A = this chain, B = another copy of it.
Amino acid sequence: MANRAIGARRQEILRAAAELFAAHGFHGVSIEDLGRAVGTSGPALYRHFPGKEALLAAMLLDVSERLAEGGRARVATAPDPATALEELLRGHIAFALNEPALITVHDRELPNVAATDRHRIRRLQRGYLEQWVEVVGRLRPHSRPATLRAAVHATFGLLNSTPHSAGEVAKDEMADLLLTMGRAALLAPR
C-alpha cells in the first residue's frame, strides 16, 4: 500500500498556497502561481482540488477545525478558568507563531469561499470564539456577552498581528510578550 504518503501532495500544495494567499491575497494569486510554487505547472492542481475556491475552502476548514479542536482539548483539561485562559492564549500564540500565513489567510479570506463551505467555517470560528467568551466570562462575571465577544475579538487581533512584525524579536520572547499582553488586555477592564 502506498497509502503512506496519501494526501502528501495535497498538504504540500496547501502549505504553499497559504504563503501565497497571505502575501498577495486570494485574487492576487493565479493557478499558475500555485502550480509553480510546488514545482508543477498550472492545471496539475485540478488533480487534487476541484478548483481554486475549493482549495481555499479546504485550507480554511482545516485551520478552523484545528483551532476549535485545540481549544476544546485545552479547556477540557484545565482545572479552573484562569488556567483555561492561560492555555487558550498559549495555544493560539503557538499557532500564530508557527503558522503565520495560515492565521493571516484565516481571518482575511473567508468571503472568498462558496456559501456552503463559508457557513461551516464560520460555525467553527464562532465555536472557537465562544470557548474564549465562556472562559473569560467566568473571570469577568459583570461583563455583558457582547462586550466579552468584542474583547475576545480584539485579543485575536492582537495575537494575530504577529505575522506583520516577524523577525525582529525571537520566537520565545515574542510568545511571552503576547501572552502577557493578551492576558492583561482581557482581564484589565475589571
A-side residues, CB < 8 A to B, are 23-28, 107-108, 111-112, 146-147, 149-151, 153-162, 164-165, 168-169, 173-174, 177-178, 180-189
Instruction: Name the residue of chain B whose CB is nearest to the CB of A155.
Output: B158
With beta carbons under 8 angstroms apart, the residue of B111, B146, B164 that contacts A157 is B164
A169 touching B188 by the CB < 8 A rule? no
What is the CB-to-nearest-CB distance from A53 to chain B, in angstroms, rounded to a whole number? 12
A161 touching B168 by the CB < 8 A rule? no
Chain B residues within an 8 Å CB radius of A107: 164
18 A-B residue pairings within 8 Å (CB atoms): A23-B111, A26-B27, A27-B27, A27-B28, A28-B112, A147-B169, A147-B173, A149-B165, A150-B168, A150-B177, A154-B158, A154-B162, A154-B178, A157-B160, A181-B186, A181-B188, A184-B188, A185-B185
Instruction: Name the residue of chain B whose CB is nearest to the CB of A168.
Output: B146
Q: A182-B185, A184-B185, A185-B188 are in contact. List 5 more A-B contacts (CB 8 A).
A: A28-B112, A153-B161, A157-B160, A181-B185, A181-B186
- SS of A interface (majority): helix
Chain B residues within an 8 Å CB radius of A154: 158-159, 161-162, 165, 177-178, 181
- How far, in angstroms, from A151 to B157 measured CA to CA in the complex? 13
B181 touching A24 by the CB < 8 A rule? no
